Amino acid sequence: MITLIFLDGLNGINYHRLMTPFLRLKAEEGINIHFFASFDELKKFDMTKVGSVVVSRRCTVSNYRAFKRWLRARNVKLILDNDDYWELPDDNPAKDIYKKQVSHEILATIRIADEIWTPSEALAHKMRKVNKNIPYRIIPNTIHEQEEQWVDQEKDENPGGIVRFGYLGANGHQKDLLSMGMTFEDYELYCMNLMDYPELLRAKHRMNPLDIHLYAQLYRHFDVSLSPIINTKFNRCKSNLKVIEAGYTKTAIIVSNVTPYKESVIHNKTGMICSTPEDWRTAVKEMTLEKAQNLAGELYEYCKKHYDISLINKERLKGLV
């Protein structure tokens, strides 16, 4: 049977949750897949040969109940893959469009889904309140280690032996950054050149966003990744992808003592966990290059053991028709 996958553009979500895992499933398990960009394209398919339709976050259809009846009449399973909570914090730039449209589409899709995949147990708990009568599968985020951008992860030359820190957060994380209670004018910080992040942290180096097939190169600039988040419903429903990316790029990580990071890091072994601004200042100040390399090595081994994409894809296979 064919698995149809809704790919509405190549963004970070689609890259990690749909494109990469399904291309691996095709290569390793031989499943028959087809990516489509518009639900109008479904009219072109012989749906008797289709077992499952997989969508990320939401279907973009005009009538959800009618779409569900149409799929059910053709014995096609609808699988929703969702990795983010639909209620965004006030400082997220997408807040308005989510409130007006996207949140409603996500909730409508949850209600008609036959099965839901998510990397977050906290998010699964939220979705079960909307639709409790279907299977849920916890499927972690990960990367394909043999993909070109992840293969060559040798750090940039560092003749001075100075610890280099990095922040790779997307838009809408000012409050998360402020939770560290510190600035980095006395350190070597490579910071995403988004919003006012470099000014907020007083970063010496700016990093511009790269294409989704190239962004892993940004990890080569620094030795320690910073992942501060505040304790909110939205953040607790996120995945631990930043921990996994740090592990596979042999980068040490400092995280907030908040789900999902606190469950993914062993303090002082695979990373550092901080609960207060004082913790952050101490973790940064006491970080040495040797310590960063030791933490990174332990985290790499942890990720190799727990986040191998072939093993994670076994769980996806169980849900496909």
User: Whole-prediction pTM value?
Assistant: 0.94
Chain center to CA of 111:
23
DSSP strands (E only) in the chain: 2-6, 32-36, 50-56, 77-81, 115-118, 136-138, 164-167, 188-192, 205-207, 224-227, 252-256, 272-274
pLDDT of residue 50: 96
Element (H, E) at 201: helix 197-201
pLDDT tens per residue across span 235-270: 999 999 999 999 999 999 999 999 999 999 999 999
pLDDT tens per residue across span 29-61: 999 999 999 999 998 889 999 999 999 999 999
The answer, yes or no, to whether residue 138 has pLDDT greater than 90, is yes
Alpha-carbon gap, residue 318 to 75, rounded angstroms: 17
Produce one character per residue of 89-98: b if its CB has 16 or more CB atoms within 10 Å, e if not: beebeeeeeb
The answer, yes or no, to whether residue 75 has pLDDT greater than 90, is yes
pLDDT of residue 91: 82
pLDDT tens per residue across span 80-116: 999 999 999 888 889 999 999 999 999 999 999 999 9
The answer, yes or no, to whether residue 9 has pLDDT greater than 90, is no
Closest CA to 166 of 248, 254, 89: 254
pLDDT tens per residue across span 11-22: 899 999 999 999
The answer, yes or no, to whether residue 321 has pLDDT greater than 80, is no
pLDDT of residue 144: 96
pLDDT tens per residue across span 179-228: 999 999 999 999 999 999 999 999 999 999 999 999 999 999 999 999 99
Alpha-carbon gap, residue 163 to 187, rounded angstroms: 8
Longest dimension (CA), the chain: 66
Average pLDDT over residues 58-66: 95
Those residues with Cβ within 8 angstroms of residue 301's Cβ, 6 or more apart along the chain or in another chain: none
pLDDT of residue 44: 86
